[in-house]
Amino acid sequence: MPIRFLSILFSSLVLFAAPLLAQDERPRNRFSSDILADTFGYDRSTPGSVDLKDLFQGCPRRDCIPSIDSPRFEEAAAASAWLADDELVLAIRRGDDARAYPVRILDRHEIVNDRIGGEPVAVTWCPLCGSGLAFSGQLDGEPVEFGVSGLLHDSDLVMYDRRTETLWQQITGEAILGPLHGRRLEALPLTITRWDQWKTSHPKTRVLSRDTGTGYNYFENVAYGGYEESDQLMFPATHRDLTIHPKAVVFGFDLDGKPLAVLEKTLDDQGPKLETVVGERRLTIERLASGEVIATDTEGRVHRSTRLFWFAWFNFNTATERL
């Protein structure tokens, strides 16, 4: 596919979602093809947990945002020549295998189908929610790849698996429509952190290469420029809390069914370590040298967090407490 066409296509993806939406405003469908019906063949008879009217089409076709299926990597020193210290990376370690996936690359791909520590792993990123999660790339013991469906639900990436074409909600890892409806993917530990923090704590890490085979220039233009600063969304979210900026960064914890959101600003102002009580549970919340934010209870149990925008956390965790 010609490089110029790819560049134009990606630029169009952001334009298709514009303008940003005011509260409760719904986007218009601007596409001649209906991905849900024409590509997946899904209708109201398809087993699922979502109303079809709440699935919004973000681009002209399935895989219009291309996943990376044969990722290449380079050493930390080589990556530091083009990756700034303060840039965000999605970072994961499986055994002795540590890897970093720059957000500037993931903004244009959203999914990397990889093998880490000898096991298939799907590394996923939703730019609209600021959410990065990793999942096992196995279903029923067999490897499977994931792709970008071109659909969004509650402003979040909807993935599909290339074996059954089931649609999966990224933030929850839940199958929301299709043959595997109701199943959940196995989530794997992942950290969203600054490049300098990750490479210092994991000097032997490998970094996703810019050589993705697509011809994208990852330094030309800024994907979703201005989106994080705006208080508006590109697509609707069912549940909203407007007491703080919707794109405020939080670290979300699932404390045995009790959700807690810790604002990044709270950690910046009061951290890197703070004490709190959630219910009857006393917690120590701490930002580690790697950039990961964890909560440790009095029994020594460690709870890992998910970093994302406030609106996205609240939408899926309306009973959350907040610090």
* Domain regions of the chain by residue span: 3-208, 249-322
User: Containing H/E element for 287?
Assistant: strand 281-287
Q: Are 108 and 223 a contacting pair, CB within 8 Å?
A: yes
Which residue type sits at 218? Y
Alpha-carbon span 225 to 10, nearest angstrom: 13
CA atoms within 13 A on the CB side of 268: 7
Q: Does position 189 have pLDDT exceeding 90, yes or no?
A: yes
Rg (CA), the chain: 19
Q: What average pLDDT does range 130-144 have in this prediction?
A: 97
pLDDT reported for residue 145:
98
Q: Cα-flanking dihedrals φ and ψ of residue 313, to 5°?
A: -65, -50
Strand partners, 70: none
Q: Are strands 55-57 and 131-136 parallel, antiparallel or unpaired?
A: unpaired
In whole angstroms, what is the distance from residue 166 CA to residue 40 CA?
Answer: 9
Q: Per the omega criterion (within 30 degrees of 0), is the bond before 189 cis?
A: no
pLDDT digits (tens, 9 = 90+) for 68-97: 999 999 999 999 999 999 999 999 999 999
Residues 6+ apart with CB under 8 A from 38: none
CA-to-CA dists, residue 217 to 108, 228, 292, 308, angstroms? 10, 22, 29, 26
- Please answer whether residues 83 and 176 qualify as being in contact, where contact means their C-beta atoms are separated by less than 8 angstroms: no
- Written as six digits, the tokens of 286 are 């701490």
Per-residue pLDDT of 236-276, as tens digits, reads 999 999 999 999 999 999 998 899 999 999 999 997 899 99
Q: What pLDDT score was predicted for residue 29? A: 64
Q: Give CA–CA dist 107/105, Å, rounded.
A: 5
